[in-house]
Amino acid sequence: MRRCECLVLAVVWVSAVLLGCSSGYGDGAVAWEADGRPNIIVILVDDMGYSDIGATGGEIETPTLDRLASEGVLFTHMYNTSRCCPTRAALLTGQYQWDTGLGHMNTTNSPHPEYQRVMNEENVTIAEALWSAGYQTAMGGKWHVGDDRPYWPDRRGFDHFYGPPKGGGLYFWPSEFYDRPVYRDGELDEPEEGWYSTDGFTDYAIEYVKGVRDKDRPFFLYLAYVAPHFPLQAHERDIAKYEGRYDAGYEAIRVARFERQKAVGLVGADAVLPDAEHGPWASVKNKGAEAREMEVYAAMMDCLDQNLGRLMVVLEEEGIAENTVVMFLSDNGGCLADWNKTPNAELGTAQSNAAYGKWYNVSNTPYRKGKARTYEGGIVTPMIVHWPAGIERTGVFVREPTHVMDILPSCLEIAGVAYPESYEDRELDPVDGVSFVPLMNGGEGDADRALFFEHEGHRAARHGDWKLVANRGGAWELYNLADDPFEVHDLAGAEPEKAAELKAMYGAWAKAHGVRWPLK
C-alpha cells in the first residue's frame, strides 16, 4: 500500500523485564505464567453523541460511565473516522482505514485496493498482536469489517466471538428489519425471542470473564455494542424513566447540557454555544412523537450504562478490576438520519424502525454536524480510560488530540508488546497511530501532529490548533480551534497562507494513502 512518507512508524516498547515477562511473535501463542500484565477491555458504542453521558454534560443517567471517568481520565478529543466500518478498521489495526482496505463501507465494490469490502492482511489486529504475546482474546458484538466467513473475528486473532458479523441495527430478537444472524465461535446461535442485544453482548462478556477465560493469563476483550444506533428500540421499563423529560424541546436540553459542560470545565466559562441546527421547537408539529424519540434514545443509553455496571461488578468480584484497563468510546458522533419507516408502530418497540433526527444536534453539543461529516460533531468522541493500577491522576481531562488508530499502539504499550514487522509470513505496513499512554499520567502530546479525515468527499486536516474542513463539493473552511473550538468563524479568507499550507498537506496525504471520492 502507498504510505505517507511524513508519517513515521511508532514502535511501541515497554521493557518486558519491568513487567515480569517477555514478548515474541511466532506461529502460536506462547505459554505464560501469571505475570501481572493488565487485562484490556475496549468498549466501542455506535453513534453516541459527544454529550450523551453525564460526564460530558448529559442528563441521561449514566452513573457507571460517570464513575469510570471520575476514577480514570477523560480524553476530550478522541478523533474517529466519522463512520462505523472505517472507525473499526482503524481502531483494530492502528492504521488509517484506507491502508487496511476499508476506506469506505464494507458494501463497497471497487477496483481500488483502498476501497474493499474487508480488511486486508497488511496489518495485524490488536487481538492478533496480543494473542501472539500470550493474551487470551475474545469479542462480543458488532464486527462490521468483513461479512463473509473467512474474515470473521476468529480469523483475525480472537479465540472467541459472539455477535453478528454484519452491521448494526439489531436489538430485540428476532429483528424485523435487519438481517443480522448471531454466531458463537463460528456457529449459528439463534437467541431466544425477546433477547436484546445490549443485554446479550454483556451476558456473553460476563460469561467469558467468569467462566471461559484461563485465570492465569491476561485477556483482551473487545466489546462492540450496537447501541445507541438506530432503530430506536428499548425496554419499556427504561423508556418509562424518561417520560416527559424531553417535552421542553431541543434548545432547552442543548443549552442545559452546555451549561453543565461549563460547570465541569469541559468548555470555557466564557464559551458561546453555536447557533442551533435543529430549528425551533415551536415549529415541530407532533411534539409528543418527537420527544418520544429522545426518550427512547436515552433509554438505550441508560440500558447500556446499566450493562457496563454489571460488567464492572463482575470484574470486582473476580478480583481483577484494579489491573484491568477499560477504554470506552464511540465510533462517530450522533447520527443525522431523520426518518420513521414504521409510523404506525409504537416508538421504541421491536416493531418500530425510526431514527431520532434533529436530536443529533443535542447529542453532539457543543459541536456542529454529526456522523459521516468531518466537522467536530462527526469526528470527535469523548474517551474514558479507567485503570486503577496504572493511572496515577484521576478525574482529569486529557485535551490533546488523539485518534482511534492510537488504540492499538496504546494497547501494545500497556501489554509490553512491540509491533511486529511480519506476522504469519506476511509483511506488515507500519502503524499510523501513536500510543496515548504517556498522556494518561500527565505527559505531553506532539503539538505538531497532523491528522487527516475523509468520508464520501467530506474532508478535513488538523495540524496543531488549525483545522481545514469542507463538505463534499464545498469550499475549504479554516478554523483556529484554540480560539474557535466549535468551528464558527471561517478564517480561510483572512489566513490564505495557512489554508494553502493545510490544503497542500491534505493533498499529499490523500495521494499517499489512495484517498479518492467519488470512486468511479
Neighbour tally for 275: CB within 10 Å:
8
Q: Are 451 and 403 in contact (CB under 8 A)?
A: yes
Catalytic choice (77, 144, 229, 513): 144
From 157, 224, 215, select the one nearest 39 (Cα to Cα).
215
Bridge-partner residues for 224, per DSSP? Answer: 44, 141
Q: How far is 400 from 405, CA to CA, in rounded Å?
A: 15
Concatenated DSSP letters for 157-206? Answer: T-SEEEE-SS-S---BSS-SS-----EETTEE-PPPTT-BHHHHHHHHHH
Distance CA 249, CA 246 (A): 6
Tell me whether residue 430 is exposed, middle or buried, using C-beta atoms within 10 angstroms of its C-beta: 0 to 12, 13 to 18, 19 or more: middle
| Rounded Cα distance, 376 and 361, in Å | 12
Q: Provide the grid cell at 249.
A: 424541546
- Is residue 84 among the annotated active site residues? yes
* Type of residue numbered 30: V
Helix (H, G, I), strand (E, B) or coil at 105: coil
Beta strands in 7-114 (DSSP E): 39-45, 73-79
Active site (annotated) includes residue 144? yes
Beta bridge partners of 141: 224
**Which is it for the CA torsion 484, 485, 487, 491, positive or negative?**
positive
Between helix 287-317 and helix 63-71 the angle, nearest 10°, is: 50
Tallying the residues shown for the chain, one arrives at 520
Q: Both ends of the chain: CA-CA distance in Å? A: 20
| DSSP per position, 117-143 | SS--SSS--HHHHHHHTT-EEEEEE--
- Residues paired with 324 in a beta bridge: 39
Catalytic: which of 4, 84, 335, 411? Answer: 84
**Amino acid at the residue 207:** E
Q: For residues 354 and 67, give the distance between their C-alpha atoms in angstroms, rounded to a whole number.
A: 31
Q: Which residues are catalytic?
A: 84, 144
